[in-house]
Amino acid sequence: MSATEAAVEVSPEELLTINAARELRDGQVCLVGVGPPNAAANLARRLQAPGCVLVYESGAIGAQPVRLPLSIGDDDLAATALELVSVVEMFNFWIGGGRIDVGFLGAAQIDSHANLNTTAIGSYEHPKVRLPGAGGAPEIAACAKSVIVIVRHSPRTFVERLDFVTSLAHKRGHTVVITDLGVLRPADDGELELVAVHPGVDVAQIQEATGWDLRIAAEVDHTPPVTRHELNELRDLRASAGR
Amino acid sequence: MLSAVELREAIAEHVRDGMTVALEGFTHLIPFAAGHELIRQGRRELTLVRMTPDLIYDQLIGMGCARKLIFSYGGNPGVGSLHRFRDAVENGWPGPLEIIEHSHAGLANAYAAGAANLPFGVLRGYAGTDLVEHNDQVASVACPFTGEQLSAVRAVRPDVSVIHAQQADRHGNVLLWGLAGVQKEAVLAAGAAIATVEEIVEELDPPPHSVILPAWTIAAVCHVPGGAHPSYAAGYSVRDNDFYSAWDEISRDRDRFGDWMREHVLEEVPA
């Protein structure tokens, strides 16, 4: 890592997306949702995982979008896909059938066991904030072989008790939670454990941003600094959305 | 032989207040023009079914057409909230909105069961989630062969389903291609189906990834070019992502939303 590379300045969103992209391996079959997961999966295709197979719940299998799609049903996805299937087939044969290696998920709230809330903040009947709801998340969480949760780290998001359980993302040894501060994985008993921090972040800062007494691994790693190359590729990808 | 009808007539003939209506199209081929016609005709007390309510149900809800919503993802994809949907659920504006919410897999299987004339669909999902206790259309069922506990979802049988497709031929057979969503299931599950189409052609020449709905499964075919905008019809248009982004601001405020609907929907005279 040269001095100039170490000086690269990234936004929290970029840090999170780039670290999520690093988790993907070439050739994996990856179910992609809207928002940051979409950016992370398409970034991985430009970096270490060009042969990553992108599956969108809208029915596109093996999509190779040139532009970063805004929605999971953009025209570019269908036009470049190897196969298009109905939504019923997508959920029953491909997701429910266990053919997805990696599923990406986001959440408004996450608890210490990687359960996720994307439904409502406050009570269900009289929500303070009504969120979009489940979508494909419960089945992706239940049926994908591994799950990458992408979420911003704050006490409002990392809560002791979810207002609503939408999805159960815990898979022993196959769940990773990537935040803008660090990386968490479930320990043997299923409770999330801090295993790495991003450059310049300390453990105390992460504890403060977590709404429960966070378990810390015996040895906490540092994620490699974001490189100029990674950042350029991500920014170029984002710029492509408007093209 | 096809006799294409005006969209205005098709909606007036088939959709009545209080009916269960599904306007389907998963991001692609969303029947916006038909939704706007429902708004112009002032339909009330509808039970609206859609996997992704999208902007079209945000508009129907904000204009007071819906009593109940059956759905599985109520967001503006890639942008954020559906503000009219949120205002209805959070504040009861413009009126109370009852919601029945599924996961995508749950609602897709409910449509498929409806199309198959079965009372329920079956899947592994929902276990351990809070969705079950808030949705009386989901129940636990034991596999009669293995005893495995599975989830049952009650079939969805809309009174009317509406879809947008690329083409119909002179016999009234309807062709759609690209992302096909749950349109085939929604049409076959419904008591009656209306299709708006981009083009009426002499003979269909189906490209790969096509779905054909035979004329005898469709009650009315209406020629409505551009009827999916701001969604799109592959081969005819691209998704208007700028409008989806702009909707966030337009829909955030009740008055601004009302002004927009008056100018672009209520006072718009369809071609």
pLDDT tens per residue, range B215-246: 999 999 999 999 999 999 999 999 999 999 99
Domains of chain B as residue ranges with CATH: 7-102+157-259 (3.40.1080.10)
Per cent of chain B over pLDDT 70 is: 98
Contact between residue B31 and residue B11 where contact means Cβ atoms under 8 Å apart: no
pLDDT at A172: 67
Per cent of chain B over pLDDT 90 is: 93
Express each pLDDT in B127-146 by its tens digit: 889 999 999 999 999 999 99
Express each pLDDT in B41-60 by its tens digit: 999 999 999 999 999 999 99
Question: For A20-33, what is the mean pLDDT?
Answer: 94
Nearest to B110 by CA among B157, B143, B75, B69: B157
Q: What are the tokens at B29?
A: 């081929």
Question: For B188-217, what is the mean pLDDT?
Answer: 96
Q: How many CB atoms lie within 10 A of CB A85?
A: 20
CA distance A78 to chain B (A): 6
Express each pLDDT in A48-58 by its tens digit: 999 999 999 99
Q: Which of A35, A59, A85 sits opposite B78 (nearest CB)?
A: A35
Question: For A17-45, what is the mean pLDDT?
Answer: 92
Minimal Cα distance from A73: which residue of B? Answer: B27
User: A-chain residues within 8 Å CB-CB of B239?
Assistant: 70-71, 73-75
Q: What are the tokens at B257?
A: 């939303």
Question: For A99-107, what is the mean pLDDT?
Answer: 94
Question: For B156-175, what is the mean pLDDT?
Answer: 97
Examine the pLDDT at B249 and tell me if it is beyond 80: yes
Question: For B172-187, what is the mean pLDDT?
Answer: 97
Task: Give burial (CB, 10 Å; 0-12/13-18/19+) of B226.
Answer: middle
Question: For B7-32, what is the mean pLDDT?
Answer: 97
pLDDT at A2: 46
pLDDT at A181: 97
The residues near B65 (Cβ < 8 Å, ≥ 6 apart) are B38, B39, B42, B43, B44, B46, B48
Q: How many CB atoms lie within 10 A of CB B80?
A: 15
Q: Which of B90, B128, B179 sits opposite A58 (nearest CB)?
A: B179
Best residue in B27, B28, B70, B238 for a mutation probing chain A (most A CBs within 10 Å): B27
- How far is C-alpha A156 from the geometric centre of its chain's CA atoms? 18
pLDDT at B63: 98
Q: Which residues pair with B139 in a beta bridge?
A: B152
Question: Is A219 designated active site?
Answer: no
Q: Between chains, do B178 and A78 touch, taking CB under 8 Å as contact?
A: yes
In the set A57, A139, A193, A230, the catalytic residue is: A57
> What element of type H or E holds A215?
strand A215-222
Least confident of A157-171, A206-220, B88-102, B193-207: A157-171
CA distance A139 to chain B (A): 6
Question: For A135-155, what is the mean pLDDT?
Answer: 94
Express each pLDDT in A174-192 by its tens digit: 899 999 999 999 999 999 9
pLDDT at B268: 77
The domain in which residue A157 lies consists of 3-240
Q: What pLDDT band is residue A4 in, cutting at 50, 70 and 90?
A: very low
Q: Which of A70, A135, A137 sits opposite B241 (nearest CB)?
A: A70
Q: Between chains, do A34 and B103 touch, taking CB under 8 Å as contact?
A: no
Question: For B156-166, what is the mean pLDDT?
Answer: 98
Q: Which of A73, A131, A137 sits opposite B179 (nearest CB)?
A: A73
User: B-chain residues within 8 Å CB-CB of A73?
Assistant: 26-28, 77, 179, 239
Contact between residue B98 and residue B125 where contact means Cβ atoms under 8 Å apart: no
Question: For A199-221, what is the mean pLDDT?
Answer: 97
Q: What pLDDT band is residue B270 in, cutting at 50, 70 and 90?
A: low
User: B-chain residues within 8 Å CB-CB of A77?
Assistant: 179
Distance CA A109, CA A153 (A): 10
Best residue in A111, A130, A162 for a mutation probing chain B (most B CBs within 10 Å): A130
| Domains of chain A: total | 1
pLDDT at A6: 52
Nearest to B129 by CA among B140, B118, B116: B140
Q: Between chains, do B125 and A71 touch, taking CB under 8 Å as contact?
A: no
Mean model confidence pLDDT for chain B = 96
Examine the pLDDT at A3 and tell me if it is beyond 80: no
pLDDT at A77: 82
Q: What pLDDT band is residue A72 in, cutting at 50, 70 and 90?
A: confident
Q: Which of B27, B90, B109 sits opposite A127 (nearest CB)?
A: B90
Question: For A81-96, what is the mean pLDDT?
Answer: 95
Q: Between chains, do B101 and A164 touch, taking CB under 8 Å as contact?
A: no
Q: Between chains, do B82 and A73 touch, taking CB under 8 Å as contact?
A: no
Examine the pLDDT at B262 and tell me if it is beyond 90: yes
pLDDT at B78: 83
Q: What is the ipTM of this complex?
A: 0.94
Minimal Cα distance from B176: which residue of A? Answer: A86
pLDDT at B209: 80
Examine the pLDDT at A123 and tell me if it is beyond 90: yes
pLDDT at A7: 57
Q: Between chains, do B104 and A86 touch, taking CB under 8 Å as contact?
A: no
Q: What is the CATH number of the domain that holds A174?
A: 3.40.1080.10
Examine the pLDDT at B112 and tell me if it is beyond 50: yes
Q: What pLDDT band is residue A35 in, cutting at 50, 70 and 90?
A: confident
Examine the pLDDT at B2 and tell me if it is beyond 80: no
Best residue in B55, B130, B238 for a mutation probing chain A (most A CBs within 10 Å): B130
pLDDT at A1: 45
Question: For B58-76, what is the mean pLDDT?
Answer: 98
Mean model confidence pLDDT for chain A = 91
Examine the pLDDT at A70 and tell me if it is beyond 80: no
Q: CB pairs below 8 Å between A and B: how many?
A: 169
